[in-house]
Amino acid sequence: MNRSPSLIVATMVALTGCKKEEASGGEVVSITTRDDVTLAAEYYGASAGRPGIVLLHMIPPEWSRHDWPDEFLDQLNAHDYHVLPIDRRGAGDSGGEAEDAYQGEAGRYDVEASVEYLISKGATGVGILAASNGTTSLADYTVWASGEGLPEPAAAAYLTGGSYTENQTDMEEVAARAIPSTFAFSTEEREWSVDQEDLDPGVWSWLEYPDGAHGTRMFDTAPEVADDLDAFFVEQLGE
């Protein structure tokens, strides 16, 4: 019996359990940082002048851009947002050393290159969503950008941040930038996120999930987090 190429590919994926190379709406792209590390990413295109969102996954090399649910990426893109989940250095298909993604200054270069990429594609106003120690680079970039004249985040979401968030940058410094931000976390891991309430510059919010989990695992255990994060970015970036 003759089988079409698409049927053969689908059968092979089903049998091997392989993770697909890109999400349903994404185009695989390469981005180069200021220290010449090549990052892999998926770009979900949108109209010029529309907002963008960079997504930073959990700790490399164990995690990658593929850990963001495809449905969530499509949900963000449906607002005509430019969406860019990246492989942080040392993870997935990106070059570089994994530890450099969260120790020292290099992690912020990953964010810088990602934000600049979206701006080059016509994005106006870029939000950042970071999971677990991806929040380290988010905090680092937020404070560094303000001092370097780089584009600051238009909105920021910390998905289960922790003490590692402050590896290089204290949250007091982040609070001074007064970036609209939300902190999403499970009840089991609430301590660090709730501690940030004392620093609230008046534009921060909190999302707690009794049945939640860590980082991008939250999408499985508390799927409502997808709608809540989506609503946060819509509120801050516009419909």
- For a pLDDT cut of 90, what percent of the chain falls above it? 88
Instruction: Say what the pLDDT of residue 24 is.
Output: 56
The whole-angstrom separation of Cα 94 and Cα 99 is 13
The answer to whether position 15 is within a domain reads no
Is pLDDT of 68 > 50? yes
13-22, 23-32, 92-101, 111-120: segment of lowest average pLDDT: 13-22
The answer to whether position 167 is within a domain reads yes
Q: How confident is the model at residue 25 (pLDDT cuts 50, 70, 90)?
A: confident
The answer to whether position 75 is within a domain reads yes
CATH number (domain holding residue 45): 3.40.50.1820
Is pLDDT of 119 > 80? yes
The answer to whether position 2 is within a domain reads no
Is pLDDT of 135 > 50? yes
| Full DSSP string of 118-131 | HHHTT--SEEEEEE
Average of per-residue pLDDT across 167-185: 97
Q: Structure pTM?
A: 0.89
The answer to whether position 7 is within a domain reads no
What's the domain range around 209? 21-237
Q: How confident is the model at residue 239 (pLDDT cuts 50, 70, 90)?
A: confident
Could you report the per-residue pLDDT of 180-202, keeping only the tens digit for each? 999 999 999 999 999 999 999 99
Number of domains in the chain: 1
The answer to whether position 184 is within a domain reads yes
The answer to whether position 104 is within a domain reads yes
By the 10 Å C-beta count (0-12 exposed, 13-18 middle, 19+ buried), 44 is classed as buried
Q: How confident is the model at residue 1 (pLDDT cuts 50, 70, 90)?
A: very low
N-to-C CA span, the chain: 50
Cα angle 139, 216, 41 (rounded to 5 degrees) comes to 70
By the 10 Å C-beta count (0-12 exposed, 13-18 middle, 19+ buried), 111 is classed as buried
- For a pLDDT cut of 70, what percent of the chain falls above it? 90
Cα angle 14, 212, 232 (rounded to 5 degrees) comes to 95
The answer to whether position 159 is within a domain reads yes
Q: Is the model more confident about 10 or about 88?
A: 88
